[in-house]
Chains A and B, each alone.
Chain A
Amino acid sequence: MIINGVSIDDTFAEAFGMRGTRVLITAQNLRWAYNAARAMTGFATSVIACGVEAGIERELSPEETPDGRPGVSILMFAMSSAVLMKQLETRLGQCVLTCPTAAAFSGIDDGYPEITKINLGKNLRFFGDGFQTSKVFNGKRYWRVPVMDGEFMTEESTGMIRSVGGGNFLILAESQPQALAACEAAIDAMSKVPNVIMPFPGGVVRSGSKVGSKYKSLIASTNDAFCPTLKGITKTELSPEIESVMEIVIDGLTDPDIRVAMRAGIAAACELGAKNGIKRISAGNYGGKLGPYHFKLREIMA
């Protein structure tokens, strides 16, 4: 398959089951909603070292938020519910409780076959040292914790669902600036897709990895088959004209969400086309042995 001169590999992205949740963060204005959201989703690129993968899903208008203030929604994913709950609580406590005017609400209440209630601000309330109060509206409990700027408000719990992490595709280009330009185009397009995040910096990861290492203590190491500077000394996957490879990793609430995002991203990259140095789209997998989700590039782009 070739789109606008870009060849689409007959391969698939291999993805894993994760636990995902959504949190709505509001504040007096968008600036402070973003401040809280960015802090909360910072250092959350990969579960390997960060515990969770998290990112900002989208901006929310005042009409869309429970308290009528502007806000953003964030998504957060982890390999187990225990880790997700722990990370959610820690991050909420350090990044939203602390952030002036910010409040946090559940982002998943219905629409999925199986939703598990998990603590959002339930335990953070104890920061109130007995002065905290709760309110129940429409069957949902909210906590009000007195803090120095007024009150920190947080919903007691949010919803957790079974979701998917590790969707991905690779952009292979003739130069580093061209690869990056394609990634930017892809990320711009994918940011409009709901229910997904691209957790790496700017949505893009350059350090694609393979399983294992010559060093016994490392479980992963650089994906030398896609490193352009090693073309001559390793068993390469790259043709001679490829000078730079970048990857976009996608976590989504469901499998179709990831498909939609991948299609939008790949299409945007391909739009730049071969004339802008974009040569190939590929994807990372482990031979289909590890992840239950296989996103076949050609199927997605068909």
Chain B
Amino acid sequence: MLIKLTGGRVYDPAHNIDGRVMDIYVRDGRIVERPNDAETIDQEYDLRGKVVMAGAIDMHTHIGGGKVNIARLMLPEDHRASPAVHTDACRSGCGHAAPSTLTTGYRYAEMGYTAGFEPALSPVNARQSHLEMCDTPIIDKGGYAMIGSDDFFLRMLAAKQDQNAINDYVAWILHASQAIGIKVVNPGGINAFKFNQRALNLDEENIHYKVTPREVLQSLTRAVYELGIAHPLHVHGNNLGVPGNVETTLKTMGAVEGYPVHLTHIQFHSYGTEGDRKFSSGAAAIAEALNKHKNVSADVGQILFGQTVTASGDNMRQFANSGHGSPRKSVLMDIECDSGCGVVPFKYKDQNFVNALQWAIGLEIFLLTEDPWRIFLTTDHPNGAPFTSYPHLIRLLMDKSFRNDMFAKLNLDAQAMSTLSGIEREYSLYEIAIMTRAGAAKLVGLHDRGHLGVGAGADITVYTDNADREAMFAKPDYVFKDGQLVVRNGQVVKVTWGSTHTVKPEFDRGIEKDLKKYFDTYHTMNMENFKVSAAELEEDGRGHVIVQESKGRREKTA
């Protein structure tokens, strides 16, 4: 079937197209060349006057896996207020802070998003993460395997094993957990907490392994680079949420010694200690450093006001925060010599000094960071806010007067501590398209997504231009997923199952000898059962596994 999308105003930053009126052709789920005149167009959409972009990509969203499901499980009161009723196209579900999988897929698609990446896929829990994501319809997904506090890796570092061995382990993890990237959370800190360490600074040793977070970061950034994986090491730094952590974050940028690194939800890591309340914005310093260090990218993790739930592998910090939760409950876990998790419901309030300043800090980072290819639009769903608030966030970025109106409602002490109202910048549609499409695809390593060039998967979103950007981005006219019309006027009209993106770098399978011994001695599961097969993801007809290209070994260490 040949589909023609006629006359839309196209924003495709991957091809430097900034609002050019053009036609797009789609066949068998892909964007194709303009066919010859003799070919019949099976279906045509008149998009004159409409804004056309690739489907949006959320490069950091907690949509599947143990802690997300714990968040769902522990919040019946949040679900009760937001039932998702059965429609002709959609099954029912629920969802606000921690939506059900089905509802998650529908709601993303309805906002024009066609992919989302679970950033904290604990390898031991990878099967569950994928099972959940495979039950998340329409959108493509993938995960970043979380290591760095796992005992196997820390034993390797403590034993000073060479970088090649570490690279092999990292590659093995990517295969075994069907992941597309590697993440580290509070490097070494989750492990240290199991030994009753309550904080871990960049150069502080784990009392058991005598390994520092700096060493963890260095070996992992290098492993990811040398394996040729597109997505740089995804780093949730030490000291999340701690006033003064801006210093840790700046040091972390330097610690990776020029290797590519992605600092996630950087807003939570940009706090100073100035002012009467010893809490201030470190946004300017962070943005300046981001502008300078071209090897560093970041997503913001914007907070927005209202009820949500924080879910993190960082149980050291979540334990410390659990007393601030609202409603007051929390689930914390030590997990399988692999990781941990902490789930704490949270309510951000605009009249709360800290929350109001967090809000301003996030926006300051967005607006002071110059290169939209290296800064990404996230709320760290659901930690800063549910992903359904993205249209609102886009409006905050694109509309200065709206932003300043919101700012004026904040806690007055927080207003006094922020420079936000003095920032003139407004994001353009082109920049939004970079942040949420082209840049995100490039960062994650999705070669056929995030752009509208020939050969790309036909994930396309069509909007009606509207000065109210929140209204515009909340309700696309059309969303095509792999060439199929899945959303019309902001409503799902057809449910498809997206694919799972992975990366499978080459590695020396000899590593399995050590791993098998480790599993047999210390684990409670067999190594073979630890590994998730692609076939399992495709079970029940829930989509396919796509292996994205990795560049092959780079500068393999002798």
In the complex they form, whether A and B have CB atoms below 8 Å apart is answered with no
Chain A residues within CB distance 8 Å of chain B: none
